[in-house]
Amino acid sequence: MRLRLTALLLACAGIAGCAREPEIFNVRNARAHVDMLAGTIGSRPTGSEAHARARAYVIDQLRIFGYQVRVQEADARRPELGRTARVANIIGVLPGTRQEAIGLLSHYDSRGDTPGAGDNAFGVAVSLEAARLLAATPERQWTTYVLVTDAEEEGLLGAA
């Protein structure tokens, strides 16, 4: 328990440093996101308590960076795979002055038998750090969309 608390505090400290260098991608920030998702939270199968904690974490981070965040809940179906699931996709939007947009995409669930660091805490970490960097850009022109889908491990159900 003490080790997990220490990891949580270190992750928070790393994330709190996000505002220090807005002009560069900070690998330490991204690593703190991976550590939180795959280490502290751990395996995140769709519908689990850990899955809900990961969703809350991603939402909180995007809001800290200034994104307008909503959760798109839907009953997703992939009849060709014989699969259905209740999904909760995270959509963060940061308006720009032009109609063109930049999109960042990843997924926050993992398989139940792995902490999901490479699939896909790493992708979420890159999306979050890029989202932070784009939000810190002065005179931002392009709207930024951050889409973090759900149930990718269930047959791309969140994307469906």
Calculate mean pLDDT across residues 128-141. Answer: 93
- How long a stretch of residues is the chain? 160
**pTM (two decimals):** 0.84
| 125 vs 155, higher pLDDT | 125
pLDDT in tens, 23-73: 789 999 999 999 999 999 999 999 999 999 999 999 999 999 999 999 999
| 13 vs 47, higher pLDDT | 47
CA distances (Å), 76 to each of 28, 85, 109, 122, 159, in order? 35, 5, 15, 24, 9
Q: Which residue has the tokens 């932070």?
A: 132
Q: What pLDDT shows up at residue 130?
A: 96
pLDDT greater than 80 at residue 8: no
Q: What pLDDT shows up at residue 99?
A: 84
- Count of Cβ atoms closer than 10 Å to residue 47 Cβ: 16
Q: What pLDDT shows up at residue 22?
A: 56
Residue 95, token pair as written in the block: 């308006």
